[in-house]
Amino acid sequence: MNDPDVDVGAAIFTASQDGARGDVELLRRISQGDEDAMAAFYRAHGRVVLAQVLLVTGERVLAEEIVQDTMFAVWRGAGSFRGESSVRSWVVAISRRKTSDRLRGRRLRVVDDTFLADQPDSGPGPEMLALDRAELAGVTVAIRELGPVHREVLGLVFGSGLSLPEVAGVLEIPLGTVKSRLTAARTALSRILHEKGQNR
């Protein structure tokens, strides 16, 4: 169950990406042991990483511990960044691995991708229509009701601001599967909002 005191919806839908050049420079400085650069990196990415991890774990304390694990990995491994992805997708991939390590042994309810692929497309951008028509608090509640797979893909696309190919890289799944999951997540979110009377 997600922490009710954390506005996950606000974190997801209001997060913005920092400039790629500045992020790479921060990593260069971090690799040289610059603590100020590490603090700046944390300010730039910590909130988005926390929101993403919280979507998957649903536990605030655990999510904060995973963010700390992630930032420690960034501190130790900043020099390993090769620029093959955006810095944002790199740090989100690290947080996802750290989350998987922590959750190993726990069973997450996962929807089969073949089921997701068969779900009809809900039309253009229902999550954006929902934001236009619903209170952000209502969207936050609806997101909490989604399954972990749906929360994760929405967080990666709209919270972390990753492109679909970057999400495929982070999740280590085909691009088509990402599209299926995103479509199913958007449909589920739209349905929940409609059922709650938020989509009028």
Higher pLDDT, 25 or 13: 25
pLDDT tens for 56-86 read 888 889 999 999 999 999 999 999 998 888 8
Residue 177 has pLDDT above 60, yes or no: yes
When pLDDT is averaged across residues 178-188 and rounded to a whole number, the result is: 91
pLDDT of residue 104: 80
* 66, 53 Cβ separation under 8 angstroms: yes
**pLDDT interval class at 2 (50, 70, 90):** very low
HEC per residue, 25-80: HHHHHHHCCCHHHHHHHHHHHHHHHHHHHHHHHCCHHHHHHHHHHHHHHHHHHHHH
**pLDDT interval class at 90 (50, 70, 90):** very high
pLDDT of residue 32: 94
pLDDT of residue 136: 58
pLDDT of residue 54: 87
pLDDT of residue 106: 61
Residue 91 has pLDDT above 60, yes or no: yes
Q: Which domains does the chain have, with CATH numbers?
A: 8-103 (1.10.1740.10), 113-195 (1.10.10.10)
Tokens for 166, please give them: 């970057």
CA angle, residues 195, 199, 200, in degrees to nearest 5:
110
* 66, 102 Cβ separation under 8 angstroms: yes
Of 89-93, 148-152, 161-165, which has the strongest mean pLDDT?
89-93
pTM of the model: 0.64
Of 26-30, 81-85, 143-147, which has the strongest mean pLDDT?
26-30
CA nearest to 11, candidates 61, 53, 73, 72: 53
pLDDT of residue 113: 52
* C-alpha Rg value of the chain to the nearest Å: 17
Mean pLDDT of the chain: 77
Share of the chain above pLDDT 70, in %: 70
pLDDT of residue 14: 41
Tokens for 104, please give them: 């190993």
Higher pLDDT, 104 or 110: 104
* 147, 111 Cβ separation under 8 angstroms: yes
**pLDDT interval class at 200 (50, 70, 90):** very low
